Amino acid sequence: MNIKALEKTALSIRALSMDAIQKANSGHPGICLGAAELGAVLYGEILRHDPSTPKWADRDRFILSAGHGSMFLYSLLYLAGYPGISMEDIKTFRQIGSHAAGHPEYGLIPGIEATTGPLGQGFAMSVGMAIAETMLAARFNTGKRKIIDHYTYVLAGDGCLMEGVSSEASSLAGHLGLGKLIVFYDYNKITIDGSTDLAFTEDTAKRYEAYGWQVLKGSMYDFEGIARLVAEAKADKERPCIIILTSIIGKGSPNKQGTADSHGAPLGAEELAAAKDALGIPEDFYVAPEAAAYFKGKQAEWKEARESWKAEFKAWSEENPEKRAEWDLFHAGKAVPARNPAFAVGDKLATRSAGNKALAAVAAANQNLVGGSADLKGPNAVGFAGGVYSAADRKGRYIHFGIREFAMAAISNGIQLHGGLRAFCSTFMVFGDYLRPALRLSALMKQPVIYVLTHDSIYVGEDGPTHQPVEHLASFRAMPGLRVLRPGDAEETAEAWSMAMERLEGPTVLGFTRQNLTVYPKDDPDWKNTIRTGAYVVKKAEGGKPDIVIIATGSEVGLSLEAAAKTGKKVQVVSMISRELFESQPAAIREALIPQGVRVICCEAGVKTGWERWAKPEDIFSLERFGDSGPANKVAEALGFTAAALAALIER
């Protein structure tokens, strides 16, 4: 181990970070300075990666869960020679157009494995990546050759460890025995407010032992010690490992190190000068020649490792053509069309149940689809043939996430980010709130995770308002990049699953009912295509131009058909499976379904928010309150949400 080079690398991380943050007049020097030694040894000696091919499928993953330390990551990506990040980017840190954004943004440049910053989620995503590694290894490795065999490393701070999502993910990671997950805990005892003694005095080591983790301790400033600890972590193949590295936040800043002052603001010109002086940094945006030379020297070694893998992969491909074909399918970046289950007009079943049939078809056609539920396998109806994933069976595709919705979604993001697999997860729609921060990251990272959210309205019934979503559809639709699909019967449900699988540019929420719905006839003979615009005409008005168009979603399509039949009006009923998708269509498509000048009624068992675009407030048949506890139809009656009331509105 070239200690001198590593020291100079750490120095360069400090130099680049301090200067970039100072120049941006914004950023978080604390962890960049405090964990610089780890960065050096991690990128120089520990990670099995090749910056010349950053997407190498079997690379080690590194996730900076403490995403505010973005300059830590950018410095290392720059020093290690990753494409996409230049000195100019670093000099324009946190400016529009720079690849060195405020927090690491997945997709902006290679080497950023996940968007981090919202604390705890990077940690949880890393658990997903480690799960994905075991799944792919089990599926593709042979006795002779290991095509997938990498580690997942994380750098987490006090904030990550305080967040509940990391607790959930850690408990599950321990349970699953993810031995190739290695978390470095930057144990500096400082947060924004000051000492962790203010709020965080638990025995974290003991907590991780309780989760079934291997717990190791060392110093952030001992290169060889860190390498030894990593070796020790690797030697324990059955437990994830947390390496608690005692550190000094802002190390190198003579007057601010060890204090909250160094956490989240530039050092200031004076302190910066003092730090440079103390550290012996001769110039702005300094890269020590020894560090540059060290990483230059590493390129061949890294390339060789990857070439060696490539040769192995080639040999494996030749020996296992079927596995190779499946590998290609897994990595093709698109879904295999499934043969949708068939339903008949008049069939009565909940869309969650129809969804289960569709899932069976989709999962059979797409062997790389994996996922599960937060302890609601039956209620969510998301069981499928494919075995249960566990420490004992890495080939299983169904994941028992436990009652941990937030970690479930973050882990799903991690599985999806890993590559090779398609992830879905499931809970009651009302608990979509529990996982919302991870859903937002799916959208922000454009990850096509599928969220199966059942029990999608007051028709949940007896469980009452805590379990009845009313504002959730509206709140989901407000999120940029998220697609919400709420099918109205079993046939639409099958299409919804297909649409979710087809969508690769972001996450999809599938909103399914608990209650039975009747499959209705569809006047649009081409509805399976039209529905991909977000809406189609289920029922044309008798005798031409309608008096009224009802836009309904999900279970309210059936309600609208029922109400329309009660009136003498010429009513056209539109099933709008996705409002945001429909709203993105050209005017001609929109107006074909909803002619201008015709009275529009919107009908959805939830708040009116967003429907104001389509109807006057008094023509929105909605629910502006929390639900009630009782049998589903009794709840609807109590809230005045009935076909009769809708018919009266139509007649008004």
Q: Map the footprint of a second copy across residues 263-282, applying CB under 8 A.
A: 264
- Type of residue at 38: L
Q: Is position 622 an interface residue for a second copy (rule: CB under 8 A)?
A: no
Strand partners, 184: 155, 243
Alpha carbons 421 and 439: distance in angstroms, whole number: 18
Residue 409 region, left (φ>0) first, then alpha (ψ -120 to 50), else beta? alpha
Query: Are the C-beta atoms of 78 and 85 separated by less than 8 Å?
Result: yes
Binds a second copy (CB under 8 A): choice among 467, 514, 522, 539? 467
Among 184, 343, 434, 536, binds a second copy (CB under 8 A): 434
Which CB atom, from 47 or from 602, has the smaller least distance to a second copy? 602
The amino acid sitting at 17 is: S
Binding mask 478-517 for a second copy (x = CB under 8 A): xxxx------------------------------------
Residue 168: CB minimum distance to a second copy, A: 4
Q: Is 107 in the site for a second copy (CB under 8 A)?
A: no
Residue 306 in contact with a second copy, rule: CB under 8 A: no
Instruction: Give the shortest CB-251-to-a second copy separation in angstroms.
Output: 21
List the x/- string, 393-432, binding to a second copy by CB under 8 A. -------xxxxxxxx----------------------xx-
CB of 55 to a second copy, least distance (A): 23
* Residue from the set 210, 332, 342, 644 that interacts with a second copy by CB under 8 A: 210
Residue closer to a second copy (CB basis): 140 or 406: 406
Q: One-letter amino acid identity for 163?
A: E
Q: Which residues within the stretch 111-130 sit at the binding site for a second copy (CB under 8 A)?
A: 115-119
Which residues, numbered 225-244, are part of the site for a second copy (CB under 8 A)?
Answer: none
Chosen residue from 198, 273, 278, 342 binding a second copy by CB under 8 A: 198
Question: For residue 142, which amino acid is it?
Answer: T
Please, are residues 438 and 166 in contact by the beta-carbon 8 Å criterion?
Answer: no
Shortest distance (Å) from residue 226 CB to a second copy: 24
DSSP β-bridge partners for residue 155: 64, 184
Using DSSP bridges, classify how beta strands 483-485 and 508-511 pair: parallel, antiparallel or unpaired: parallel
Q: Considering only the stretches 79-87, 243-251, 555-563, 621-629, report the one whose residues sit in contact with a second copy under the rule CB under 8 A.
A: 621-629
Q: Which of 609, 642, 645, 648 binds a second copy (CB under 8 A)?
A: 609
Place of tokens 């499959």: 519
629 touches a second copy by CB under 8 A: yes
What is the distance between the alpha carbons of residues 572 and 517, in angstroms, rounded to a whole number? Answer: 20
According to CB under 8 A, which residues from 372 to 391 bind a second copy?
373, 375-379, 388
Residue 527 lies near a second copy (rule: CB under 8 A) = no
Given 206, 228, 314, 339, the residue binding a second copy (CB under 8 A): 206
Q: Which residues 562-591 are close enough to bind a second copy by CB under 8 A?
A: none
Amino acid present at 305: A
Q: Dihedral (C-alpha) 358, 359, 362, 365: value to the nearest 10 degrees?
A: -120
The verdict on 109 binding a second copy (CB under 8 A) reads no
The type of residue at 367 is Q
Please report how many Cα atoms fall inside a 13 Å half-sphere around the Cα of residue 77, on the Cβ side: 28
Binding of a second copy at residue 14 (CB under 8 A)?
Answer: no
Residue 300 CB, nearest distance to a second copy (Å)? 35
- Nearer CB in complex with a second copy: 44/122: 122
Q: Map the footprint of a second copy across residues 20-49, applying CB under 8 A.
A: 24, 26-27
Handedness of CA 515, 472, 648, 491 (dihedral sign): negative
- Among residues 7, 405, 492, 495, which one is catalytic? 405
Assess 207 for contact with a second copy (CB under 8 A): yes
Tokens coding 533: 């615009």
Contacts of residue 370, Cβ cutoff 8 Å, sequence gap at least 6: 135, 386, 389, 397, 398, 399, 415, 421, 422, 423, 424
Is residue 371 a contact point for a second copy (CB under 8 A)? no
Active site residue 405: yes
H helices of 419-517, in order, are 432-444, 472-477, 490-502
Q: Interacting stretch for a second copy, rule CB under 8 A, among 129-137, 160-168, 218-226, 356-364? A: 160-168
Q: Which residue number, 309 or 434, has a Cβ lying nearer to a second copy? A: 434
Residue from 437, 524, 527, 645 that binds a second copy (CB under 8 A)?
Answer: 437
State the Cα angle at 112 between 107 and 116, rounded to 5°. Answer: 95
- Among 112, 123, 113, 57, CA closest to 85: 112
Relative orientation angle of helices 3-24 and 70-80, to the nearest 10 degrees: 130
Q: Helices 555-565 and 643-651, interaxial angle, to 10°? A: 60
Which residues form the catalytic set? 405
